[in-house]
Structure 1
């Protein structure tokens, strides 16, 4: 009887470990959203009236990556942009699908240095939701943003990067 009890405990431990591993990704995302860790930006509403700081000029760099196995192009319309805090800007990102099958894409943003993430305010972004893309097609995806005036004074340049993932199988199964 002792061996059966031990086997049951081990089976329960394995189930608990699997459940914990399954919950790690959503818990990590929530933690990163709250703290700005890992360059995740929070989706905050836009202030009613933006006041532009004419005394500061910040350089925002745009970098794109594609997950392995994803073909086609994923590029920003500009590689860098000089912005003033409080000034609204739009950068378009172009993505292409050379394959014949329709796909569903998801872009994950990251900001470096990470402490700049809490001061990047996106009002519109393709990263907010899944992006369906038909086979043999191209799409232009806008991202509208401004830099909050509370950005620390020692940050004069930061990088906004997006990694694009094909989530067709996962999206189809849900």
Structure 2
């Protein structure tokens, strides 16, 4: 008389292997998503690559009326982004410690709804540590419907401790299409909610 059939050992081993491979794949995917914020934090802390802070700053100190610094504004749009994106002014003169506001214009030239994200950088790189944004469109995603336009404000100041040898700072923004990434993140968030219920 034979007993109940025992599951084959190779089948169990294959099942465990598939589970491990799926876990490794998910971990690699998560690590890939974590790299961008980690890089941004690293650049923000060290000032490398001219990355500016993406959090609101508070102004402290006196305005240095004896000194003027030229701030230039440059924009570019990633190749997969059908938007027009430009500053209203190309350059302004700023006293360190003085709060200034400028605006950038964005227009979605396509018929599709698109979410944009502007990534700033400052040159020379050492100047990034002294360029403080109080309010910036780069803090958030910018959704625009097809054909829609928007004026986006930037409120900033230069720290009076800006080194004397820096007479000009260039603030560059590159605009990226993050529609798919935001949609994937929202879908993952919804899936996580469903799984936790």
Q: Does TM-score exceed 0.5, indicating one fold?
A: yes
Query: Does residue 1:47 correspond to 2:36, yes or no?
Result: no
Residue 162 of structure 1 corresponds to: 173
Deviation (angstroms), 1:18: 3.9
| CA distance in structure 1 between the partners assigned to 2:179 and 2:34 by the alignment | 21
TM-score between both structures, scaled by the size of structure 2: 0.76
Answer yes or no: is 1:141 the counterpart of 2:142.
no
Counting helix residues as a fraction of each chain, which structure ranks higher?
2
**More displaced, 33-42 or 19-28?**
19-28
**Deviations for 1:120-150, whole angstroms, at most 9, x for unmatched residues?**
1111000001011111110000000011101
- Give 1:26 deviation, angstroms: 2.6
Provide the residue aligned with 1:99 in structure 2: 110
Where does the alignment leave 5 or more consecutive residues of structure 2 unmatched? 1-12, 187-197
Over aligned residue pairs, what C-alpha RMSD do you find?
Answer: 2.0
SS across alignment from 2:160: coil
Match of 1:71 in 2: 82
Residue 44 of structure 1 and its aligned partner are, at CA, apart by 5.0
Distance 2:169 2:33 in 1: 33
- Distance in 1, matches of 2:125 and 2:103, equals 23
Q: Indicate conservation of the 8 Å contact 2:63/2:96, yes or no.
A: yes
Structure 1: give runs of 5+ residues left out of the alignment: none
Aligned-partner Cα distance in 1 for 2:141–2:160: 30
- Per the alignment, do residues 110 and 135 of structure 1 end up closer, same or farther by CA in structure 2, a change over 3 Å counting? same
Does residue 60 of structure 1 match 2:47? no
Q: Is the 8 A contact 2:44 2:51 kept in 1?
A: yes
Count residues in correspondence: 163
- The aligned residue for residue 117 of structure 1 is 128
TM-score of the superposed pair, with normalisation by structure 1: 0.85
8 Å CA contact 2:114–2:143 kept in 1: the answer is yes
Pick which of 110-119 and 19-28 moved more: 19-28
